[in-house]
Chains A and B, each alone.
Chain A
Amino acid sequence: MRLGDSQDEGEFRTRLRDWLSGQIPAGVPQEWDSERLRAWSKSLYQAGYAGLSWPVEHGGRGLPAAYQAIYAEESALAGAPDHVNVIGLNMVGPTIIKYGTQAQLAEFLPGILSGETIFCQGFSEPDAGSDLASVRTRARAHPKGYQVDGEKVWSSYAHLADYCLLLVRTDPEAVKHHGLTCLLMDMRAPGVQVRPLRELSGDTDFNQVILTDVVVGADSVLGPVGQGWRVAMTTLAHERGTFGITLTSRLSAELDRLVQTVLTLGAGSDPLVRKEIAELHVQLQGLRFTGYRALAELQRTGEPGAESSILKLGWSLANQRLTALALRVLGPDAAFDGPQAFWSGYWQQQHLRSRTNSIEGGTSEILRGIVAERVLGLPRTR
């Protein structure tokens, strides 16, 4: 058991930290529009920080998952945004490496790494949010491959994406998990329409994707036809890998910002504020070191440990609690927003956005159900 970095990891961290500090101005988090995001992703690629854990033969650096975790921690500390192609790099790319044909590997992997080919993911649907297996988007046989009709929602980065990893039903007779197929769909194909969804925070992180008679070539099928569930689960398993560490690193940086806010507003001696901040700190450190344990299991066995299933659940609740405290500390000024507000309304935005946390990427109810059934071995809940 080793808490700190190995010598190589430590050197990697130091170089990365130096590089990040030269790239990102210190201070309160900034707005990143899509052009800045693309430029940021390009510079990450050029500096060798894209595809850290991808195999060398597929253009990655072949490093253990710990390096991806170090990247997550340092980029959070530096206030860096997500890679614009976070879905391509962390989820779709590894899935293509596992299931892709030679042609698909050659076509997609270089662009995913360089950030030129941005991916989104089309799994959720209006009537199949948490119940992913009830996907209804239909793909019918077409002379060129498939003709797709349906609607996807909550698709991050769809407004920027070049391609979508799309889960469709190819066999309407088959029940639930069967008869599903994954497609690599060109987002610029005729019939693809992207509509940003405006959330209660006013942000537009997610999109609705409407598919009307979209023709997708037979060579765009990823993995076996009818085995889309298995392919999609591979993608989601990759999301679990170092994702927990990414989330908790961001949360630690956020708690630092809250401490800063508390000190700025002179609330640092309020006993209730001190207690609440300390409790959040315990929760966060617990998530952080549980993330380390899951990472060690991932490196030892190839699968993230069972502990990883609680990271997203705990993160969402802690983030909601943290931003709620920020507004309480702001007091009556929490009513303001925009340029006149404290930190230009940063905490107001974060708090409104945080309500999404316990819904996106698996609702808290679904995650507790997963723990109950798959970790604790309880009978299936109804």
Chain B
Amino acid sequence: MDFTLNQDQRELKAAARHYLSQSYPLTLIAELSDGVGADGQAWPELLRQGWLDPELELLELALLAEEGGRALHPVPWWVTVALALPVYQAAGLPLPGPATLADGSTGCQARQQATGWSLTGQVPSVSQAGSVTEIVLAASTPAGTALFAVEPDGAGVSLTERAGVDPLRITAGLRLVGAPARLLLDAPATGPVLAAIERRWQVLLACEAVGVADRVLELAVDYAKTRTQFGRPIGSFQAVAHQLADSYAAVELARSLAYRAACVLADEPDQAAEAIACAVHAGIRAAVSGCEVAMQVTGGLGVTWEYPLHRWYRRALSLQARAAAGPDPLEVIAGELFTPAAADRIEGALAPA
């Protein structure tokens, strides 16, 4: 057992934190959040920073996702790496730039014509569709669900932005009318890739949630050290300090589970369901309750628009909503614990008296 980050991993994390804190001060995050919702210029620099290096393994991506959550990284890196990248990798194609992925398997039909494939149909909500180079879409073909790429500003493609709880993760309704599409993966190859992506995004979501929880704890702790009431810093009141200690515990437990899920998914993907479920449940819980504790500690200021805390709370709530699109973590865990095999796990257990 040596369950700790190695030197390279620690350095990667520190470099990512440095880059993000230099590039995205809170003023810029607020400006983007209240404005266009994403930094459209950052992609080339992110490539130079190595955030899409092919040699990055899942644990390294997990660390970057965590740092991205801390900084509210306003670039469609997460959707690219968590959702779309595995499709291009499986297809042996280069990543065209930032990309997102949506499931149109029930609402979109693909038709093969002499000139190539075209897509028709709609998807109610595609994450960050307006900020990417390509949208990867699962669509139905006569042979089953296959994966295609369309360009957001291509012919026959229309996007309608939808207001969301997290303005840094804008989604759009997607409507396709005979839109030309590139086939990335055909029907037989698609199922396993989508299944693998579902496991992958859950792990990277848990990591991002840990980053959110970690940052809002830091915010609240800094505030509790300096804000005085009744003649002393509020962090010296047990009622305040103990809530923050509990938040710290929640963050550390969630971080351990997120790293563990990344390790298990990398090594034994088919055995990872329980580890992923633990990571998702603990990560979301730590992020949402961490923001709520931070709001309580920062009091009246914390619930204003001006104070940045709500931006992480919005991220936490949007992660919670995204997680709800996956399997229910607690039911996954219960399903594993209450199998017939579990009945025999304690050998020779006594019958009730």
Contacts from A to B (Cβ < 8 Å) = 1-6, 9, 25-28, 66, 69-70, 256-257, 259-260, 262-265, 268-269, 274-275, 277-279, 281-283, 285-287, 289-290, 292-293, 295-297, 299-300, 307, 310, 313-314, 339-344, 365, 367-369, 371-373, 375-382
A286 CA to B252 CA, complexed, in Å: 8
* A365 CB, nearest partner CB in chain B, Å: 7
On chain A, the residues within 8 Å of B163 by CB distance are none
* In the complex, residue of chain A having the shortest beta-carbon distance to the beta carbon of B5: A1
**CB < 8 Å neighbour of A259 from B1, B256, B257, B342:** B342
Q: How many residues of B contact A (CB 8 A)?
A: 58
Q: How far is the CB of A26 from chain B (nearest CB, A)?
A: 4
| Stretch binding the partner chain, chosen from B167-175, B183-191, B236-244 | B236-244
In the assembled complex, B29 has its CB within 8 A of some CB on chain A: no
Q: Which of B43-51, B141-149, B331-339 contacts A (4 or more CB under 8 A)?
A: B331-339
* B1 contacts A2, C-beta separation under 8 Å: yes
Please tell me if the beta carbons of B233 and A274 are within 8 angstroms of each other in the complex. no
Is B117 part of the binding interface, using a Cβ–Cβ cutoff of 8 Å?
no
**Seed contacts A277-B334, A289-B3; 13 additional CB < 8 Å A-B pairs:** A278-B333, A282-B282, A282-B330, A285-B257, A289-B257, A310-B253, A343-B353, A371-B249, A376-B241, A377-B225, A379-B232, A379-B235, A382-B236
Residue in A1, A25, A26, A281 whose Cβ sees the most chain B Cβ within 10 Å: A1
Are A27 and B347 touching (Cβ within 8 A)? yes
How far is A379 from B226 in the complex, measured between Cα atoms in Å? 10
Please tell me if B259 contacts chain A, counting CB pairs below 8 Å: yes
Q: Is B85 an interface residue (CB 8 A)?
A: no
Contacts of A260 in B (CB 8 A): 342-343, 345-346, 349
Docked CA distance A257–B237 (Å) = 40
CA A259 – CA B338 in complex, angstroms? Answer: 7
Please indicate the chain A residues that have their CB under 8 angstroms from the CB of B350 in the complex: 27-28, 343
**A365 touching B242 by the CB < 8 A rule?**
yes
B4 touches A297 (CB 8 A): yes
Are A372 and B242 also in contact (CB < 8 A) when A300-B4, A381-B237 are?
yes
- A376 touching B245 in the complex, CB below 8 Å, given contacts A278-B331, A281-B333: yes
- Known: A299-B2, A381-B241. Is A263-B253 also a contact (CB below 8 A)? no
A343→B249 CA distance, assembly (Å): 34
- B259 lies within 8 A of A380 (CB): no
User: Which chain B residues border A277 with CB–CB below 8 Å?
Assistant: 333-334, 337-338
The smallest C-beta distance from A38 to any residue of chain B, in angstroms, reads 26
Docked complex Cα distance between A298 and B217 (Å):
25
The interface residues of chain B lying within 8 Å CB-to-CB of A286 are 253-254, 256-257, 278, 282
B238 contacts A27, CB within 8 Å?
Answer: no
The stretch of B95-103, B121-129, B260-268, B314-322 that contacts the partner chain: B260-268
Chain A residues with CB below 8 A from B257, complex form: 282, 285-286, 289
* Those of B2-20 within 8 Å (CB) of chain A: 2-6, 9
